[in-house]
Every structure is written in C-alpha cells, then in structure tokens.
Amino acid sequence: MPFTSKYLEQFESVVIDNVVMVVQRDFKNALDAFYPSDNLPDFAQRTVGNIFQLALPAFAVEPASGGADEGEQYEQQPLKLNLYLAVEQADPTNAVRQAVKYTRTVRSVLKTCALSDFTTGLSPNNVFSIVRELTWQYGQPAKKTNQDQISANGWIVPVKLELVLKYSER
C-alpha cells in the first residue's frame, strides 16, 4: 500500500534557504540605508550551519525546533530557526557597536520582507497564515587568537537571533 501523507510537510525544507536568500538579497541595501556614511561591508559569507569557520562579517541559519497542532484540514506549526551573525573589529567597543548595527539591519530585513518570501518554491495554497516572531541576544566580545581559523586580528562579537515562524500547512 503506497504512503499518503495527511499534510504536505514542505515548509521546513525550503524556509531555511529562503531566509538566506532574503538576507543575501536585502541586507546590504538596508545596511547602506541605515548607515550611509559608515561604508560597512556586506556579509563576507552566508551559510546554513557553522558560522565560526567563515570570513567575517558572516551570517548563518540553522533549524532549532518545531512542533505541530493537528487540525481537521490543516496543521498549525511553529518553526524556530537560529540565526547567527558575527562581526570583527580592532577593539571590543567598536565590535559591539558594529554588532548592534548588523543586528538592527538583519532584524529589519526579516521583518520587512514579504511573508511570501519565506514560501518561495511552494504552492501558495499549501502554506498560509504565517506569523513571524524575532528575538536576539548579543554575545560577549572575545579577543581572537592565532588558534582561530578565521583570523587573529581583532575582537569578534557573535549575535544569536531566533526567528519563529508560526504557520499553517495543508
């Protein structure tokens, strides 16, 4: 007997790449709009997974957790994604200031993009009623050493953002 899924279960498989795509598409323009005279660089790299092996500034996305409440005709699910960014500066004060600027910009990009950007590649009839929630936490500035693979010329400040997308799927 062939397997037939009650729900399509498609959203999680595409949303991670779509978040990376949104940040790649919109981040630098937003950064320049917020801080036109700072001449801040775009993320050197964006990835799914480990950020700490990348050239800085960097951005990464990884799935964190999910859940489901089953309904008659659709399933309601929260999907939590961990988003990481890290910046580097010559001194800890400037590293923190730059982390705040990059975090503000990522938050704005993720709150400003169309909800349909998260569902690119899916049938619009299958995923609906998306609500986004965003929280963030700054890490402590850390002096980099020669043992760090990314470089040894400054202070790094990591930031963890949590993007929760609550959605319904048929």
126-138 confidence digits (pLDDT tens): 777 788 999 999 9
Q: Kindly report the CATH class assigned to 11-169.
A: alpha beta
Cα distances from 62 to residues 47, 50, 68, 73, 80, in angstroms, run: 9, 8, 19, 29, 9
Residue listed under structure tokens 């960097």: 58
The pTM (predicted TM-score) of the whole model is 0.87
Please confirm whether the linkage preceding 57 is cis (ω < 30° from 0). Answer: yes
To the nearest 10 degrees (0 to 180), the angle between helices 92-112 and 11-34 is 120
Cα distances from 82 to residues 30, 60, 63, 64, 140, in angstroms, run: 21, 8, 6, 6, 18
For 36-91, what is each residue's pLDDT tens digit?
999 999 999 999 987 767 789 999 999 988 877 777 777 778 889 999 999 999 99
